[in-house]
């Protein structure tokens, strides 16, 4: 049970950690693995969208030239 908790905790804390929790079908109805399913299906895709949005914003900022600001 500690492995899914470790993976989720690290995934919540570290933006560069995007591993899915492996869900053993034998234990898939246990509460920890129910939470892991939500982590895999909702948090990881949302996290990817947030990262893509941030990267897009950063690239837009880097495209601004000093002349754009002064003119």
Band of the pLDDT at 2, cuts 50, 70, 90?
A: confident
Of 52, 50, 46, 10, which is closest to residue 21 (Cα–Cα)? 10
Host domain of residue 28: 2-70
Full-model pTM: 0.77
Alpha helices in the chain (DSSP H): 2-13, 31-38, 44-62, 66-70
Report CA 59 to chain centroid distance, whole Å. Answer: 20
Q: What is the pLDDT of residues 15-33, one digit of tens each?
A: 999 999 999 999 999 999 9
Q: Looking at the 3D structure of the chain, how many domains does it have? A: 1
């Amino acid at each position: 049970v500690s492995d899914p908790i470790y993976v989720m905790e690290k995934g919540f804390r570290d933006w560069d950690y995007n591993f899915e929790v492996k869900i053993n079908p034998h234990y898939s109805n246990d509460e920890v693995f129910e939470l892991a399913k939500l982590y895999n299906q909702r948090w990881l895709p949302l996290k990817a969208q947030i990262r893509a949005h941030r990267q897009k914003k950063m690239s837009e900022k880097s495209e601004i030239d000093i002349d754009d600001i002064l003119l």
